[in-house]
Chains A and B, each alone.
Chain A
Amino acid sequence: MNHPLILIIEDEESLRRFLVPTLTGQGYQVLCAATATEGLALARSHNPDLVLLDLGLPDLDGMAVLHELRAWSRKPVVILSARNQEKDKVRALDLGADDYLAKPFGAAELLARLRVALRHTIPADMPRPVLTSGTLRVDLETREVAQAGVPVKLSALEYRLLEALARRNGKVATHAQLLAEVWGPGGEGNTHYLRIYMGMLRRKLEPDSARPCHLLTEPNVGYRLNLDRETPGPE
């Protein structure tokens, strides 16, 4: 998979004119669709490795396209959305999108997001996964967490929260997703639990909890564990 195939479903031509050369220049193969119908057809025929999906399409709601895609494909989908549309972002993420990019975005941001999205989520049975974020080191097998070489003791809930974030491998997790994974069904609506535990986790793992560099907040959306290095995926 040296040259991943990326499908761009975007109706604005000027954006496609920027995306296509940027991505091909970075060694990606690119397919373009201007409408939802065309995009879904291309997705079925070419089975791309990643879909860049604009939420505001002329013929079909982007959310519906995502739903359709997720009916048969687990391949990563990155949403392109306007600023200030946190609700749409959360809905898309909860519907199974992997990440989002808020317009306007620069080339560097785009490429970083694509790299993260193309990484695989770490399955629970993966052998010896160790994640690092700066001086933070999380061993998912031995459940050992160390900050700057010093082991940190976490409570069970704190560890589960950290693990849920870590398994996303740098991708954003919505509040609802984290609540469901850590607190189980019935945990929805207790967003403040999540916030309180996140605060405690930060106090233990961040050198300055007011300036987090590992556990990042996406306001009104969720959290993201900032990973500076790609974790080896399953061979």
Chain B
Amino acid sequence: MPAPYPGISMDTPADSRPVLVALGSEAHALRLIQAGFLLARERSAPWIAAFVDIGAASSAEDAEQVQVWLQEAQRLGARIQRVEAPTLAQGLSDLTRRNRAQALVLGRSRDRWPWARLGHATADELQRRGLDVEIVVLDDQRESAGTEARSIDFSAMVGALLVLAAATGLAWLVPREGSLALVLPVYLVGVTVIAHRWGPRLGVLASVLSVLLYNFLLETPRFQQAVTRWPNLLFFLLMLLAAQLMIGLLRRLREQAREVQRRELHTASLYLLGRALARCLTRDEVALTAAEHLRRVFKAQAWLLFPEGESWLVAPGPFLGAALPSPAELLTRLAHGERLGDPLEPLLVGEATCLPLPGTDRSEGVLRLLTETVHGLPPRSWELLKTFAVQIALALERLRWLEEARRAQVENETERMRSTLLGAIGHDLRTPLAAIHGAASSLLLPGDLPESTRRDLLAMIQEESERLAHLLGNLLDLTRLEGGAVQVQKEWQPLEEVVGSALGRLDASLIQVDLPERLALAPFDAALLEQVLINLLTNAQRHAPGRAVSLRAWSDPAWLHVEVADRGPGIPEAFRERIFDKFFRLPGAGEGGVGLGLAICKAIMQAHGGTILAQDRPGGGTAFRLALPMDGTAPVAPEGAA
């Protein structure tokens, strides 16, 4: 890759005197800054970014822009200085003397008239002052790129000649008297068309040619050389000047139009990228989206690289190109500006271009681009590429923070669970243990207890130990269910059977069962569903003692529905979700139950791919609705079975 700033010689010996960069408010100041940084690094010298305030004509906007450039320079290690002076040359020579600068980097504005480019007023002025400083004048890179050096090829030449011929033909038709005033615009139009269509060089050529044509073909007497006549000489000069002006104007117009178009394109592509990235939920999605947009905008294949220990995690998809340096090496190179000649521009690694993805507090990774052309991306698209990189980095950072927030929430939840669990165990295990311990020790006391007391104590021991066993069983069940240790043994079977075995384990006298005669078989784990029914029915009996509990079931092709409904006090709307949380008990709920039963029900239903929810029961009370999915194909009923 050629050095991007041909104006700077790279082999000057080291010198401790600083490099001075003169900045204005103009847009290409960034290039001056980069050039100054590079020159200083090349010579291992410090560098200074300076702004000369000549008082006049610096708007507030300009001042702000200057501030931005100075800050940027400072970021790259420059000392910054501002001076006030009557002229730029005066200010710069003062600065140079004061800092004993070895080199002075100056820009040339493209706003100047074309003839001004031939020299550099300030540079000349400084030279005249006899400063011992190397003056580096930096041409506007963008402008030189903008002319695009169109080569004058054969077809353009022919085209230009044809246009001139047409103009001459048109001029021929003009009546002889008063000809000049009418002929001039005809040629002017022709020359302008040529300059517009085939570039300014051909335009100048065409203007000279048109003068010759006019003189040789149109001026009377025809076919005689008559350039010597002074009106013709004037015509010649006017023609050249007008053509130059026209060409200059046209070029600026075209450049502006192209710039506007380019900016519009950039804005649109950034908008599209931003919108697409905002929808991404995973790092891989970000990588995929980024790659897709980069491919479209830059015609390059892109990958996101994420450091993972000693290697890189690459997304998306198959990785093309040479192997990469280790994350430690590449990230350091990117972070310290050890790039191909430029700290702000992408680094060329192998045949691919690498850009850092800088997050707020750390690097989010590296963007790697593989272009179809050998020389990488044109420098003019780097600005947009960098903006893309920032967007991608932001998206990655957003995801990382989201993930961190989620993890923190889970940790919080786990912590909360742990403390609730400890609290519940503390209370619910200790109370029955204390009762058992107390009862047993009083039974062991010497001396006779009345028979009735003895029996009471023994009954209490039995009840409390049953309560303990129940609690432990629930805790274990839930742990196993949540840990995935329980394998759901789904078998197609009638619900009736499970209802029967569940009722067999309860005091079922107040339970009204309403099952359709021909309820379809459904796939479920009988032992687990039995537990769900037992938990729901026990709950209902506990919250509506002495009142009937209804158990109903019905099915449709996709689901088996079961409903356990009571006439208890009901569950406030706000708690209908939370009652399925572990250790959640309704405020004001009495003793008994630790708040695990419904959590177990939910875990079992989820393991089945089903649902459970609590609803208001019309007429008062709560209805728990279960839905079990009829997964797979029902087995064929045996022959002869009804």
Contact = CB atoms under 8 A, between A and B. Distances in A.
B513 interface: yes
Nearest to A107: B462
The CB with the most chain B CB atoms within 10 A, among A86, A202, A217, A219, is that of: A219
Contacts of A196: 494, 521, 637-638, 641
A173 B466 CA distance: 28
B489 interface: yes
Interface stretch (A27-35, A59-67, A140-148, A205-213): A205-213
B469 A217 contact: no
Given A219-B526, A220-B525, A199 B473 contact: no
A217 B494 contact: no
A200 interface: yes
Contacts of A211: 500, 503-504, 508, 513
Contacts of B489: 86, 220
A198 interface: yes
The CB with the most chain B CB atoms within 10 A, among A191, A197, A220, is that of: A220
Interface string B474-504: 0011001000001001011110111111011
Contact of B638 (A84, A193, A209): A193
B527 interface: yes
B496 A199 contact: yes
Contacts of B494: 195-196, 199
Given A83-B473, A191-B491, A192-B492, A217 B497 contact: yes
Interface residues of B, number: 36
A45 interface: no
B563 interface: no
A104 B470 CA distance: 10
A217 B501 contact: yes
A84 B480 contact: yes
B530 interface: yes
A114 B477 CA distance: 28
A210 B642 contact: no
A190 B492 CA distance: 10
Contacts of A104: 465-466, 469
A218 interface: yes
A216 interface: yes
Interface in B592-642: 635, 637-638, 640-642
Nearest to B477: A84
A104 B466 CA distance: 9
Contact of B530 (A197, A200, A212, A219): A219
A60 B205 CA distance: 106
A155 interface: yes
Given A86-B527, A192-B635, A209 B477 contact: no
Contact of A217 (B477, B498, B642): B498
Nearest to A213: B504
A200 B503 contact: no
Given A84-B480, A192-B635, A219 B498 contact: yes
Nearest to A208: B513
Contact of A198 (B477, B497, B498): B497
Contact of A199 (B462, B497, B503): B497
Nearest to A197: B641
Contacts of A200: 641-642
Contacts of B508: 211
A190 B639 CA distance: 13
A4 to B, nearest CB: 27
B526 A220 contact: yes
Contacts of B410: none
A212 B527 contact: no
A212 B500 contact: yes
Nearest to A155: B640
B174 interface: no
A124 B496 CA distance: 32
B515 A210 contact: yes
Nearest to B635: A192
Interface in A17-54: none
B58 to A, nearest CB: 84
A145 B136 CA distance: 117
A90 B500 CA distance: 20
Contacts of B473: 83
Contacts of B638: 190, 193, 196-197
B205 to A, nearest CB: 95
A70 B347 CA distance: 78
Contacts of B500: 202, 209-212, 216-217
Nearest to B495: A210
A69 to B, nearest CB: 27
B501 A219 contact: yes
Contacts of A86: 489, 527
B536 to A, nearest CB: 16
Question: Sorted from nearest, which 4 A-B pairs have the closest CB atoms?
Answer: A219-B526, A217-B501, A219-B527, A220-B527
Given A190-B638, A220-B525, 15 more contacts: A84-B480, A84-B486, A104-B465, A190-B635, A191-B491, A191-B493, A192-B521, A195-B494, A196-B641, A208-B513, A210-B515, A211-B503, A217-B500, A217-B526, A219-B530
27 contacts: A84-B476, A84-B477, A84-B480, A84-B486, A104-B465, A104-B466, A155-B640, A191-B491, A192-B493, A192-B635, A192-B637, A195-B492, A195-B493, A195-B494, A196-B641, A209-B496, A209-B500, A210-B499, A210-B513, A211-B508, A211-B513, A212-B500, A212-B504, A216-B504, A217-B498, A219-B530, A220-B489
Interface of A: 83-84, 86, 104, 106, 155, 157, 190-193, 195-200, 202, 208-212, 216-220
